[in-house]
Each structure stands twice: as C-alpha cells, then as structure tokens.
Amino acid sequence: MKNILIANSKGGSGKTTLATNLAGYFASLGRQVMLTDLDRQRSSTQWLQRRPPEMPLIHTYHPRSKVSMIKPEWIITDSPAGFRDEKLADAVKQADCVIVPIQPSAFDMGATSDFLDRLVEEKAIRKNKTFVALVGMRVNSRTYAAAALANFMEQTGFPILTYLRNAQVYATAAEMGVSLFDMRPSLVAQDVEQWVPLLDWIKDETS
C-alpha cells in the first residue's frame, strides 16, 4: 500500500485538483484506490459523489465515516488548509510522499515558505522516510509571476516535478467528477504530458 499526501497550509493552492486527478490516474490503471478527504469542505468527497458510475471505481474515506474494509493499493490524501502540528505530523509519518502544490502569487509563496519550514522539521522527512516535492499550479509560463514562482521553488531545495498550466479542462473535469485520465485523450494531451514527470517521480519514490 502506497500513501501520497497532498498538502499545503495555504487554502486554494490546488490540493484537491492534484488529489482527484492522481486518484483518477491510478484508478484508470485498474488499481484499488482510496481517496481520503481530511478537509472540512469535503471537496474531494463531493467530486466523488459527482463521479459517473461507468468511470473506474475510486473508494472514499472520511474521518467521520465508517472505516473502509477494502485494502487499497494507493491512498491519496487531500488535506485541509491550515494543516499543521499533530495532524500534520501523523499524516507525514504515514505517507510515502508529500506533494506540495503552489500557485504563482506572493501570498501563496509566502504561506508555502512557512509550511515548508514546518515540513522539514518532521522526523520522517529528516530521516528520508517520507519524500517531499513541489508542483506549480495554474501557471502561465510567459508571465513574470511564473518566473517568480520558478525562482522561489528552486530556492527551497526540494525537487520541482512539473508546472501545470491554468486550463479550463481542470474545471470541466471537477464539475463532471472525472479526472484528466478519464477524458478523451485528444482533449487533454497537452495537460497529461505535464503530468508525466510527477507520475514518474511517484513511481520512483514508491517502488
């Protein structure tokens, strides 16, 4: 069983987008996937409720729900804003990887800097038992904000996996309860290509 934690203390950073699309990817491969929703807003849970029944099955778990009896191959955990202290420590300890999404704004970079400082204090990360990497979210590569984000991410010392563009397809997928990997390939080819380094890193770090 592999556990991927999507985390950033900044709200609206793109955690649910990463979590739901990762869950959809592994489900599309025929894997047993559980999408764990720790956020009070329950955005990932609501996405699953909209998911068409013909799509590959993704199991759900919420702390207030009954314990699932399945034994998933992959657990994708969508965490809340303000995630810290004991709850963060417990989640990091259980995770194989932590993926931190960051948007190109001064507010996001400031909040993420503080969050990364908190992450490096976690014992599991210091001892290389849990691995951390960054993903740029909603990035327009030709803007000053994108360049500022790239510079910030490089200075953190963590691996930079990819930059995902600001595309309408993500909003469409969220509304439909599907992932990019459930959609017609011709519609999402450019976006799926941007996911390849992220997926390869996960496979390498969990193998």
C-alpha to C-alpha distance for 75 and 87, rounded to whole angstroms: 17
Mean pLDDT for 179-192 is: 97
Give the strand pairing for 97-102 and 2-6. Answer: parallel
Q: How does pLDDT run across 140-174, given as a tens digit for each residue? A: 988 999 999 999 999 999 999 999 999 999 999 99
If one compares 14 and 86, the residue with the highest pLDDT of the two is: 14
pLDDT at residue 195 above 70?
A: yes
C-alpha to C-alpha distance for 69 and 116, rounded to whole angstroms: 34
Predicted local confidence at residue 86, as pLDDT: 83
pLDDT at residue 90 above 90?
A: yes
Q: For residue 26, how many other CB atoms are within 10 A of its CB? A: 26
C-alpha to C-alpha distance for 204 and 172, rounded to whole angstroms: 30
Predicted local confidence at residue 199, as pLDDT: 98
C-alpha to C-alpha distance for 163 and 47, rounded to whole angstroms: 23
Q: How does pLDDT run across 27-38, given as a tens digit for each residue? A: 999 999 999 999
- What is the CATH architecture of 2-194? 3-Layer(aba) Sandwich (3.40)
DSSP E strands in the chain: the ranges are: 2-6, 33-37, 59-61, 74-78, 97-102, 131-139, 160-165
DSSP E strands in 69-157: the ranges are: 74-78, 97-102, 131-139
Q: How does pLDDT run across 10-67, given as a tens digit for each residue? A: 999 999 999 999 999 999 999 999 999 998 889 999 999 999 999 999 998 755 555 5
Q: For residue 124, how many other CB atoms are within 10 A of its CB? A: 19
Give the CA-trace dihedral at 132, 138, 142, 146, to 10 degrees.
Answer: -40
Q: How does pLDDT run across 92-106, given as a tens digit for each residue? A: 999 999 999 999 999
